[in-house]
Amino acid sequence: MTPQENINNLMSKMTTALEAVRECEIIMLEEIRQIEQLQEEKGRLSEQITALNEELSLIQKDIETIKVPKAPEIVVKVEDPATVTAPISEVAAPTLVTEKHSIETLADKFHGQPSVHDKIAAKPEAATTGTRVNDVAKAISINDRLLFIKELFGKAEIFTQTVKHLNGLQSFDEAQRYLAETFPHWDNESSAVQLFLSIIHRRYL
């Protein structure tokens, strides 16, 4: 190897070493900067802790100055048993004073009046003339059907079931007894009942 080559080789090694030194310096400077940031953060945390401790001390002082009122004393006065003149069982109970009213019972109110069964069992006052029908439902118009459901049966299903049952009976007397037992609340004097009875009467002509 010539002297020039040796010099070039040494110069290359020195350049490499200098670059490594510079990289080390950069790394050290970065670490120093991070250490300084940590120290600054530590200082801020110390200040916050100091402020919190001072605030806690003030709160404790405020708590100590608060006076809790004492609960009032409850004094229970017990009488001498000897002063009790009568036992509890002998104390007179309050009496209830009621006025006497003449109450009319349902039996007295309707005494002597015909029952609902008797009313329905009577012949309908409405005209019963007309041709005989095999199906009561076909003899009832739409308007009458709506009237009967509203005034007598309440529901269309009950109306339909009743008419179907009436079609299967053999006489008007059976129909009257069935209606009296099934619908005891009907008023035989109402126009709706009279009309309904006059229609079903045609079934048994």
* 61 and 120 share one domain: no
- 98-142 residue pLDDT tens: 433 333 443 343 344 454 445 544 544 444 456 888 899 999 999
When comparing pLDDT for 107 and 188, which is higher? 188
Q: Is residue 23 part of a domain?
A: yes
Compute the average pLDDT of residues 187-197: 92
**Does residue 90 sit within a domain?**
no
* Domain ranges, residue 18: 1-67
**C-alpha to C-alpha distance for 160 and 169, rounded to whole angstroms:** 15
User: How much of the chain, in percent, has pLDDT values that exceed 90?
Assistant: 30
Does residue 127 form part of some domain? yes
Closest CA to 159 of 150, 168, 170: 150
Residues 121 and 197 in one domain: yes
Q: What is the pLDDT of residue 76?
A: 55
Q: Is residue 169 part of a domain?
A: yes
Q: Is 35 left (phi over 0), alpha (psi -120 to 50) or beta?
A: alpha
Quick: pLDDT tens for 9-23. Answer: 888 888 898 888 888
Query: Do 57 and 120 share a domain, yes or no?
Result: no
pLDDT at 124: 44
DSSP string, 56-90: HHHHHHHHHHPPPPPPPPP------GGG--S-GGG
In the predicted model, what is the mean pLDDT of residues 27-51? Answer: 86
User: Is 122 found in the same domain as 188?
Assistant: yes
Q: Percent of the chain scored above 70 by pLDDT?
A: 68
